[in-house]
Amino acid sequence: MAGPNTTVPLLDVNRDNKPHRDEFVEALAAVVDSGRFLFGPDVAELENEIAQYSQVEHAVGCASGSDALLLSLMALDIKAGDEVIVPSFTFFASVSCITRLGATPVFVDICPDTFNLDPQCVAEAITKNTKAIIPVHLFGQCAQIDRICQIANEHDIPVVEDAAQAIGAAYHSRPAGSWGLVGCFSFYPTKNLGAMGDAGMLTSGDAVMADRLRLLAGHGMRPRYYHQAVGINSRIDTFQAAVLRVKLRHLGDAITSRSKIASGYMELLTDRGLVGPDQIVLPTVDPHAFHVWNQFGIRVGGGRRDALRAYLAERGVGSEIYYPVPMHKQQCFEYLNVDGSTLPETERASAEILNLPIFPSLTEAEQQQVVDCIGGYYQAGAKAAA
């Protein structure tokens, strides 16, 4: 059992990787021996395996999830004067890809239960200048991507799925990254499928789009030293591809473990009487979604989120706030002059959500310690109020 002073990390990449160490070493040694550190066979094999896993015809490797988003908009020729619909409750890369190209992000609000883009808000935000929609599959759960794609199709607007946190997720049993014109994945080490460095992947069912993405990811060069377009240099190195191929074989087990931990939190927090509007609101699972639990985000009511996080930290329990400052309130986007009153659920989520430790090798004892600490916080509050 975990003792009272045992530290519970937010995540433990080393612990998760340890059972597969020999497989990693073997795969990496093969790359060393081959000398093919870029464009090695593992890269093409990983692309094929991700395409198959995501049930799409094409997958194109790139250097990061951020690059995947940028390349998608470059391939769509997004430019100054264009608008791209995106949530404000997301990571910076979902938005910076828009502004880097001189276009304007149009922030729309999220659903209060799943924290994902609200399809009705998407429909209301469309103008003649809307050139793309970027739904974010946040925390490992797909947005209502069927409705969003239907709305987009009615207006002939391409959808770029930000599935950076959602590999393996699905909606109506259809995988994330297979709904839009392009799907964007991140293999940052903390993701469910994490590299030992940075890497990303683009998926598409459209051969022309996939070819365009591949061209732009390689300096727009084809054939060598002949540049058809101004691209960027963005690729997965063979070491990362080799590691990811090993981890992809174990992704199903990792997702199963995460799902079990999520269910455990739901049960433990409910049994302790900690669930309620003035205490904790548990994550909602959309009945049409297969959630892969990249994060476990609870709502903490009554303005107590930051105090609870501090209480946990003092007792060695890790937690994180994704995301404390929504994108429309970031200093670098002040020039957009966004009216925060149009994004009430976004601002409420930023003030209330706290993400608890969740990773495949988290033990039941550690999970119990997390819940015990949360219970201790509310018990102390009740005594102080008495």
In whole angstroms, give the CA distance from residue 286 to residue 142: 9
207, pLDDT greater than 90: yes
Q: What is the pLDDT of residues 175-193, one digit of tens each?
A: 999 999 999 999 999 999 9
Q: What is the pLDDT of residues 228-278, one digit of tens each?
A: 999 999 999 999 999 999 999 999 999 999 999 999 999 999 999 999 988
Q: What is the pLDDT of residues 264-291, one digit of tens each?
A: 999 999 999 999 988 999 999 999 999 9
Mean of all residue pLDDT scores within the chain: 96
For residue 218, which phi and psi values (nearest 5 degrees)? -120, 50
386, pLDDT greater than 90: no
Task: Select from 307, 325, 326 the least CA-distant residue to 373.
Answer: 307
Q: Measure Cα distances from 257 to 156, 206, 294, 296, 355 in Å.
A: 40, 34, 11, 13, 17
2, pLDDT greater than 50: no
**CB–CB of 215/227 below 8 Å?**
no
Tally of residues, the chain: 386
Q: What is the pLDDT of residues 71-93, one digit of tens each?
A: 999 999 999 999 999 999 999 99
1, pLDDT greater than 80: no
Residues 6+ apart with CB under 8 A from 371: 265, 268, 269, 272, 274
End-to-end Cα, the chain, rounded Å: 32
* pLDDT (0 to 100) of residue 381: 78
69, pLDDT greater than 50: yes
Q: Measure Cα distances from 17 to 122, 224, 249, 261, 295 in Å.
A: 39, 38, 13, 18, 18
Q: What is the pLDDT of residues 21-68, one digit of tens each?
A: 999 999 999 999 999 999 999 999 999 999 999 999 999 999 999 999
Confidence of residue 382 (pLDDT cuts 50, 70, 90): low
For residue 209, which phi and psi values (nearest 5 degrees)? -65, -45
In whole angstroms, give the CA distance from residue 203 to residue 210: 8
Please compute the mean of the pLDDT values over residues 9-17 and round it to a whole number. Answer: 97
